[in-house]
Amino acid sequence: MRSSFLRLAESISKGPLKMTEASAMLYPPIPLYRRILRSHRYLPSDMRSLGDDYVKSEFRRHKEVSNPVYIMGFLSQWKVYLDQMPQNPNAAYSGKRLDPTVFEKMSNEQLGQLYELMHVAKDVWKPVQTGGEGEEKS
C-alpha cells in the first residue's frame, strides 16, 4: 500500500481508535445521510441548497466503494461534519477553519474539489451592490 493511502487512513484524533469504538460512534450510511440533510434545514436557504447538493453528490459518488478503511474514513468525516451542524433552529452556524493536518492528507483531486467548493461558496455569499456604488455617472 502506498504511503498516501496510509496517511488517508490515519486517525486525526489524539489517541488510538478501536474499531468497536469507531463503529459505535458512526451511523450507517443512509441514516447518516438523512441526518445531515435534516441538519441543513436550520441553515439559510442558500447554504442549505449548496450543502444538500454537495452531500447528495458525495454520497452518490461513494456509493460503490468497497474498501472498508475508506468507508470508515468517509463516514467518520461526515459524522464530524454532522456534529458541527446546528441542532435547533435558534442556534447560529459559524464556520470552522480546516486543520492543517487535514490539508496534508488530501489528494490532488480532493484539493481541487475543495478549491471549487471555495469558489462556489464565495459566489453564494457575494455582497449585492446597490445602485450608486458601482455605476458611472453620465
Q: How do residues 51-101 score in pLDDT, each as one tens digit?
A: 999 999 999 999 999 999 999 989 998 998 898 887 777 776 666 787 888
- 88 vs 33: which has the higher pLDDT: 33
Is 3 inside any structural domain? no
Domain presence at residue 4: no
Q: Please say if the pLDDT value at position 20 is more than 90.
A: no
d(CA 41, CA 47): 10
Single pTM value for the model: 0.60
The top-scoring range by mean pLDDT among 26-35, 42-51, 87-96 is 26-35
Provide the residue range defining the domain that includes 29.
19-123
Query: Is residue 30 included in any domain, yes or no?
Result: yes
pLDDT at 9 over 60: no
Any domain includes 60: yes
b (16+ CB within 10 A) / e for 46-70:
ebeebbeebbeebbeeeeeeeeeee
Residue 7 lies in a domain: no
What pLDDT is recorded for position 1? 46
Domain count, the chain: 1
User: Rounded to whole angstroms, how far apart are CA atoms 19 and 95?
Assistant: 29
Q: Is residue 74 a contact partner of residue 67, using CB atoms and an 8 Å limit? A: no
